[in-house]
Amino acid sequence: MNPIIIIPTYNEKNNVEKMIKKLFNEVFKNNLINVLIVDSNSPDGTSQTVEELCREYTNLHLLKQTEKKGLASAYIDGFKWALEKGYDVLVQMDCDFQHPPEILPDCIEKTKEYDLIIASRYVGSGKWGEENEHQRSMISELGNNYAKWVLNCRINDMTGGFNIWTKKALELIDLNKIMAKGYLFQIEMKYYAYKNNLKILEYPFVFGKRENGESKINIKIIIEAMTMIWKIRFANRQNINKN
């Protein structure tokens, strides 16, 4: 197994160093992990911080995008980079500590049995941590159920961004045909995984509160996603039924 953790960053200078150190010094002490930061030319200098850390950690990599083109583009570039380099387990994770990296060793192990592991707030002991605003979790839960309903998909956490993909799963989905530009990427990818009958496990986790910096999500992004989801439902069938 050759896993890599892919973390997209936009203005995460105050989280990125802490996250990298946590991964290499605490969660994966044995050096068997690689980390790729995909930065969209953050004006706060996130990429310079990562460049400095690359000298200290040989398994740390930086992919610089010249401009901010959205979350989907950051992940697609990151996935392509990692697949080309021969990684076979690709972790998607945010930089703001809402996704607890401690569960990763177990999730990665589970890819021996499953094609996709979805860290989920909506199965078993999974939930929104109490420190989050109630309104925020309600809106997110509504959006999640809406996505499930429109796409007729039985995955419980459609919107979350903490997922562990196997090479097999990613090679079934044509990344060049992904329509989403932003956060809808998470939903679109899971929809194709589900429709392609991949073996999926939802792994419960507690979704924390952002540690530093600002959220990049806003009402415009949410409305855009709610509309675009219908496009995914009806327009793009090329990514389905390949197996």
Please select the residue that binds ligand GTP; options are 215, 223, 235, 237, rule is CB under 6 A: 215
Of 63, 56, 62, 64, the residue nearest 24 (C-alpha) = 56
- Residue 58 or residue 215: which is nearer to ligand GTP going by CB? 215
Q: Amino acid identity, residue 169?
A: A
Q: Taking contact as CB under 5 A, which single stretch among the options 1-9, 26-34, 66-74, 204-212 is the one that binds Mg ion?
A: 204-212
Please select the residue that binds Mg ion; options are 40, 47, 65, 98, rule is CB under 5 A: 98
What's the min distance (Å) between Cβ of 175 and Mg ion?
Answer: 23
CB closest to Mg ion, residue no: 96
Of 24, 26, 21, 20, the residue nearest 7 (C-alpha) = 20
Residues of this chain, 93-152, that bind ligand GTP according to CB under 6 A:
94-96, 98
Binding track, positions 61-100, relative to ligand GTP; x by CB under 6 A: -------x-xx--x-------------------xxx-x--
Determine the size of the site formed for ligand GTP (CB under 6 A). Answer: 19
User: 27 is written with which tokens?
Assistant: 């969660």
